[in-house]
A and B are shown apart, each in its own frame.
Chain A
């Protein structure tokens, strides 16, 4: 998950909903965190999804091209995982 990012978007209309549903077919792999899959995306739903490092630029470009506002919940997922696992290692020393 090095440099993998987690995005959050909130589709504002049906066009954006369809875009998000199709994104998973264009960009792979995408791991939908919420909802469980692209199938379940509806208008005004907050959608969280994980994108691998090599695809983050493409995804950002596509979101911008389609005027979809986004925020990035995790800039580098591996760093956050490492933080937790470091705690674990410390606690079991």
Chain B
């Protein structure tokens, strides 16, 4: 009973991943990149015509469990990529010449918990610490100035960064895959909610990245593309100055690995619904973000 305009639980997403790869073998392949703390398989969908494309964009969704619109977007993106390939020359050009590596749901354990026990659960479900509190904020667990800026060493905090960098299997699954495909991955996109922003490094310092002007221009272009559809205004800029400083985040990590086009999307809305974005807004949200991703993909394809 999977639907692109409803929020899907993990069993629905799991069977969708299996089904969409099986039905579209010419464009989609399913790759297992690791297991969660509770031993659920983490899957990545490789989308693209080229078996050995020189360029790729990595996209992850669902690092934070309660941000349900994030995995909804990844599912939408895969569906639209397949549906419009052959109809839309822009999409065909993109998929003929580059791959997308899509992780539809990184924090599966947390997502399951948010469906069954606590709708506002954020972290994963790791209980490796000796403390009674459960969960690590996966977006504080990456190895770039880990645990230094506005991340907590207290397991009971929502921004607990874990016992060490990449201590969590979900983080490790993402970093290991990216490391092994570093030569082809030109851009990294991570999808979150809420607050309507397009962010880029750095988050751990107010210093500007060397290619600040390029990234700022791309973020501006992405925000413009988003606004062109339904008029939604997304702020854009470097993470530290636009949202707040934080360390151990995945976009900074990807940038430091050499992926110089690294962006975080904070999807709708600006707080009216928070993490309870109504299902009636899934379609519009995904449509507008789709434009931004295609805008970035075309840049990566043509200018890098």
Contacts and interface: CB of A to CB of B under 8 A. Distances in A.
B196 to A, nearest CB: 11
Interface residues of A, number: 26
B274 A33 contact: yes
B275 A33 contact: yes
B194 A34 contact: yes
A87 B276 CA distance: 13
Interface in B268-292: 271-272, 274-276, 278-279
A48 B274 contact: yes
Contacts of B152: 37, 39
Give the interface SS of chain B, mostly helix, strand, loop or mixed: loop
Contacts of B120: 1, 31, 33, 50
Given A87-B279, A88-B7, A91-B3, A37 B119 contact: no
Interface residues of B, number: 26
B23 interface: no
Given A31-B158, A39-B152, A84 B279 contact: yes
Interface of B: 1, 3, 6-7, 119-120, 122, 137, 150, 152, 157-159, 194-195, 243-246, 271-272, 274-276, 278-279
Interface of A: 1, 6, 8, 31-37, 39-40, 42, 45-46, 48, 50, 73-74, 80-81, 84, 87-88, 91-92
